[in-house]
Chain A
Amino acid sequence: MKRFTGVMMVAALAAGLVAGCKPSTETAKSPEGAAKPKVVLGVSLLTMANPFFKDMADSMQQEAKKYGYEVIVTAGEMDPSRQKDQVGDFIVKKVNAIILAPCDSKSIGTSIQEANKAGIPVFTADIACLDKNAKVVTHVATDNYSGGKLAGEAMVKLLGGKGKVAIIDHPEVESVILRTKGFREVVSKSPGIQIVAQLPGGGARDVSFKTAQDILEKNPDLQGIFAINDPSALGAVAALEKAGRKGKVKVVGFDGQPEAKQAVKDGKIDADAIQFPDKIGVGVVDAVSRYLAGEKVPAQSLIPTALYTKAEADKDPKLAGGAPKA
C-alpha cells in the first residue's frame, strides 16, 4: 500500500498548505449578539505590481479602518477574466460594496451588471467603466483635465512664454486625451508658444524614447516636451541625454512615480503634474460610507493634481539624497 500512502501524503500536504493560510480577517462577533453585521468592501484593482495601485489599496485599508469596515483587496493583474472571477466571488460572499479599477473599461461591464442584479453597489477608482448598461454609484479619479492645465502652466512658465513645444501622446487612453486637452488650452493662450509635434509614445518608456528621438531630429530648435506620463517623460529624458540636449529642452511629465520624482530632483525632469493614489483610495471609501448612510453621491469626484518641481523634490523625505547638482 505504499502507493496509497504516498498519494495521501501529497493530499495531506496540499490540504495543509491551503489550511495553513488563515483567513486574513476574522468575522467580528459583537458581544451584544444580534448586533450590526460588519460592512465588507470587495476591492479588485488593475494590478498590485504598480505602486500606484498598491498605495491606493493601502489608503483604502486605512480609511476603512476608521469606519470599522472590512476590506478584501484583490487585483485582476491586467486580466479581465480574472477580474470577472473576483467580482463573481464578491457577489457570492455578499459584500456590501465593490470597488473596481477595471482591467478593461469595456469588458468589466458584464461583471458590474451582475453586481447590479445582486443589489451590490459598485464604485470605480482611477479607471472608469465605459459600458452604458452598467450602473456605477460614483467614479473617483484624478482630475486629468486640470492636471493637463497645470502641466501647461508649468511649461509656459519654464519657457518664459515662448518657444517650440512637442507632446508625446498616448491618445488611446481617455485620461490622456483629457491631459493633452488641458495642456493645449493653456499653452494656446501664449502666442509665443508653438506646438510643433504631437506624436504617440504608447505611454511606454522605450517607444517614447524613439518618438522623442524623431521629434528632436526634426526640430533642432525644440524647447519643451510635454510627456503624458512618467514613463514617456523618462523616455524623452533618455533621448535628450543621447542627443546631448539635456537642459536645453524642458521636460514636463505627469504621474508622480518615484523614479520620475527622483528625476525631478536630479534636474532631468523640470516639472511633474503628480497624482495622488492615496487620495483616490480615501475618496472612494468615503463615497461608500456616504452612500451607505443614504446620502446622494455625485456621479464623479475628481482629485486635483499638484505640480512637483525641484523645490518640492528637495524637500521630499522619501527621495534618496541623489547627486548634488551636477
Chain B
Amino acid sequence: MSENARATLSRFVSAYGMLAVLVLLCVYFSWATYHEESATGPEAAQGVARVIVASGKRPSVVVVAPASDAGFGQDLAAALKQQGIPVVGTLQGGPPEVREGLEALSKSGRRIDMVAAPESCASWTVFDALRKQVSSLANLEVVTPTTQGRSAFLSPSNLRNVADQIAVIALMAVGMTLVIVTAGIDLSVGSLLALSAVVTAWFIHAWGGTSASTGAMLAASLIAIAMSGLVGGFSGLMITTFDIPPFIATLAMMQVASGLAFLVARGQSIYDLPDSFTWLGRGTGVAALPNAALLMVAVYIVAHLVMMRTTFGRHIYAVGGGPEAARLSGLRTKRLLMQVYLLSGVMAGVGGVVTASQLKAGAPTYGQSYELYVIAAVVVGGTSLSGGEGRILGTLIGAFTIAVIRNGMNLMNVEPYTQKVVLGLVILAAVLLDRMKRRWWR
C-alpha cells in the first residue's frame, strides 16, 4: 500500500472509527432481535383464506381485529368471502368488545367454528375463556396468518423510533461539540432544556392555551430559545471576563437554570397546549421521518459546513488547539468563546422546544443529567476533551451509537441496571480509543 493511501485510510479510520463500531452494533442488534412474526397486509389475508380452504372444511368464521388493525380485518373478511367461506361477522376492538360480540353472535343462534385474527389478538385469553364458558363455542378455533422472519431492530418503525429518540440529544450535542473543541465544557445544557421547555409552554399557555395560534407557538419557541442562548452567553461571559473555569461557571448556571425552570412552572408541568404543537416533535415529514429528526439532519449539515468551511469554524479549532497562539495571531478569542457558549445554550433551547413538543407539556423535571449523555455523545464521537480537534459528524455517530445501544438493549429486554453498566463501559471504550490515538500513533 502506498504511503499516501495508507495515510488517507488511517486518517479516515481514526476520524470515523466509531462508524465501524456503530455499524457492528446495528448488525448485531438486527441479528439478536430477529424473530418470527405473523405477516399482515392483503397477501397475508389471502394466505389465511387459502389455509382454511386447504383444510377441506367450510367453517363459519368471525373476523376479529383490534381497532388499530381494522384495515387487516377488512382484508381478511374480503379474502374469505372471495374464497366462498361464510363470514358470520367482523368484530373490532379489545378483548371485552370481542367477547361481547362473540357472545351476542352465538346467542343469536349463528354457528361459529373459527376466529380469523391478526397475531396481535392470538395471545388474548378471551378465546380460551369462551371455549370453557360458552358451550356453543367449545370447539372454537383461532387462525392467524403464517409467520415470517423479521428483525425488530431493523423494522422501519423502529428506525424511525431511534431517530426520534436521539434527536434531542443529538441537537444539543452540536453545541457541546463546539464547546468541547475549545477545550471547555457546558454542564448547564440539561437544565437549559428544562428551562426552554417550560418557558415555551408558559408562553403558549399565556397566549391562548389549547387554542393558541401557530404564530404564538412560534414566538413562544423563539423566546425560549433566545432565553437559553442568553443564559449560555452569560456563562461564556463569566468564563471569559472573570476567568472562571467553564466547569464551575456552567455548573453554577445549571443550578440557576433549573431553579428558574421550577420557578416559571411553579414546580408543576404546564400542559394545556394545542394539539398542533406536537407537529415538530411527533409529526412526520419527508420519507415518513419525524420532523425532529429532519431538523437534526439539517442542523448537522449546517454545523458541519460551518466547522469545516468557514473562518468562524477554523477559529474555534484554533482557540481549542492553543488559545495563547490564537490570541497572539490576532483572533478575538474571548468573543469567540462567548459565541460558542451562546450557541450551546441556543441548541439546548432548541432541544427544550422539541422535548416540549414531543411530550405536549413543559415540566421543570425534563433534561435531568442530559448534560452527561450529551457529553458522552460528543466524546464517543471522537472529539477530544483536551480541545482543538473533533468532528461534527463524529458527534452524530456518537449520538447514534448511544441511542442504538439503548434501543437495542430495550428490544432485547436487558435489565435496566445492566443497561447502565454497558452504556458506561461503551463510553469508557470510546475515551480509551481517543487516548490510544494520541499516545501510540503519533
Give the contacts of A30-83 with B (CB-CB under 8 A): 36-39, 48, 72-75, 78-81
B194 to chain A, nearest CB (A): 10
Q: Which of B119-127, B238-246, B248-256, B341-349 contacts A (4 or more CB under 8 A)?
A: B119-127
Contact A17 B363 (CB under 8 A): no
Chain A residue with Cβ nearest B406? A85
Contact A294 B123 (CB under 8 A): no
Taken residue by residue from 109 to 130, chain A's Cβ proximity to chain B (1 for < 8 Å, 0 otherwise) reads as: 1110000011101000000001
**Is B168 an interface position by the 8 A CB rule?**
yes
B76 to chain A, nearest CB (A): 15
Contact A291 B94 (CB under 8 A): yes
Q: Which of B20-28, B305-313, B324-332 contacts A (4 or more CB under 8 A)?
A: B20-28
CA distance A131 to B363 in the complex (A): 14
**Contact for A74 among B94, B123, B416, B440, CB less than 8 A:** B416
Give the contacts of A90-111 with B (CB-CB under 8 A): 91-94, 96, 103-107, 109-111
Give every chain B residue within 8 A of A118 (Cβ-Cβ): 68
**Is A311 an interface position by the 8 A CB rule?**
no
Contact A3 B366 (CB under 8 A): no
Chain A residue with Cβ nearest B127? A294
Known: A79-B369, A96-B124. 12 other contacts (CB 8 A): A6-B436, A11-B17, A14-B24, A18-B422, A48-B416, A74-B416, A79-B367, A80-B363, A96-B120, A104-B365, A293-B124, A294-B99
**Is B113 an interface position by the 8 A CB rule?**
no
**Is A244 an interface position by the 8 A CB rule?**
no
**Is A250 an interface position by the 8 A CB rule?**
no
Give every chain A residue within 8 A of B32 (Cβ-Cβ): 19, 23
Contact B129 A294 (CB under 8 A): yes
Give every chain A residue within 8 A of B363 (Cβ-Cβ): 80, 104, 106-107
B171 to chain A, nearest CB (A): 13
Q: Known interface pairs A6-B433, A38-B123, A106-B363. Does A81 touch B414 (Cβ–Cβ under 8 Å)?
A: no
Q: Known interface pairs A6-B441, A81-B366, A88-B165. Does A94 touch B120 (Cβ–Cβ under 8 Å)?
A: yes
**Is A316 an interface position by the 8 A CB rule?**
no
Contact A86 B410 (CB under 8 A): yes
**Is A319 an interface position by the 8 A CB rule?**
no
A25, A73, A106, A137, most chain B CB atoms within 10 A: A106
CA distance A25 to B13 in the complex (A): 37
B129, B155, B429, most chain A CB atoms within 10 A: B429
Q: Known interface pairs A14-B429, A106-B269. Does A293 touch B125 (Cβ–Cβ under 8 Å)?
A: yes
Give the contacts of B1-54 with A (CB-CB under 8 A): 6, 9-10, 13-14, 17, 20-21, 24-25, 28-29, 32, 35, 37
Chain A residue with Cβ nearest B441? A3
Contact B123 A39 (CB under 8 A): yes
**Contact for B126 among A8, A27, A73, A292, CB less than 8 A:** A292
10 residue pairs, one from A and one from B, having the closest CB atoms: A294-B99, A119-B68, A294-B126, A119-B66, A106-B271, A7-B17, A107-B359, A89-B410, A294-B95, A23-B412
**Contact for B20 among A7, A17, A121, CB less than 8 A:** A7
Give the size range of A's interface with the partner.
35 or more
Interface residues of B (CB under 8 A from A): 6, 9-10, 13-14, 17, 20-21, 24-25, 28-29, 32, 35, 37, 66-69, 94-96, 98-100, 119-120, 122-126, 128-130, 152, 155, 157-158, 161, 164-165, 168, 267-269, 271, 278, 282, 355, 358-361, 363, 365-369, 405-419, 422, 425-426, 429-430, 432-433, 436-437, 440-441
CA distance A25 to B413 in the complex (A): 7
Q: List 25 A-B contacts (CB under 8 A).
A: A1-B6, A1-B10, A2-B440, A4-B13, A10-B432, A14-B426, A17-B425, A18-B405, A18-B408, A23-B32, A23-B414, A79-B367, A79-B368, A85-B406, A85-B407, A89-B161, A92-B155, A92-B157, A92-B411, A104-B363, A110-B360, A117-B68, A118-B68, A119-B67, A119-B69
**Contact for B418 among A21, A89, A94, A121, CB less than 8 A:** A21
Contact A11 B24 (CB under 8 A): yes
A138 to chain B, nearest CB (A): 11
Give every chain A residue within 8 A of B409 (Cβ-Cβ): 18, 21
B52 to chain A, nearest CB (A): 14
Taken residue by residue from 281 to 308, chain A's Cβ proximity to chain B (1 for < 8 Å, 0 otherwise) reads as: 0000000010111111100000000000
**Is A268 an interface position by the 8 A CB rule?**
no
B125, B164, B358, most chain A CB atoms within 10 A: B125
CA distance A49 to B194 in the complex (A): 22
Contact A106 B68 (CB under 8 A): no
CA distance A59 to B20 in the complex (A): 42
Question: Chain B at the A interface: mostly helix, strand, loop or mixed?
Answer: helix
CA distance A57 to B157 in the complex (A): 28
CA distance A172 to B365 in the complex (A): 14
Q: Known interface pairs A7-B17, A75-B416. Does A81 touch B168 (Cβ–Cβ under 8 Å)?
A: yes
Contact B407 A89 (CB under 8 A): yes
Chain A residue with Cβ nearest B158? A92
Contact B94 A15 (CB under 8 A): no
**Contact for A21 among B66, B168, B414, CB less than 8 A:** B414
CA distance A149 to B313 in the complex (A): 66
CA distance A111 to B98 in the complex (A): 25
**Contact for B124 among A19, A23, A292, CB less than 8 A:** A292
Interface residues of A (CB under 8 A from B): 1-4, 6-8, 10-11, 13-15, 17-19, 21, 23-25, 27, 36-39, 48, 72-75, 78-81, 84-86, 88-89, 91-94, 96, 103-107, 109-111, 117-119, 121, 130-131, 137, 172, 289, 291-297
Contact A96 B410 (CB under 8 A): no
Chain B residue with Cβ nearest A121? B94
CA distance A236 to B368 in the complex (A): 29
A292 to chain B, nearest CB (A): 5
Chain A residue with Cβ nearest B10? A3
CA distance A64 to B405 in the complex (A): 27
Chain A residue with Cβ nearest B1? A1
A44 to chain B, nearest CB (A): 10
Chain B residue with Cβ nearest A289? B125
Give every chain B residue within 8 A of A85 (Cβ-Cβ): 165, 406-407, 410
CA distance A75 to B410 in the complex (A): 11
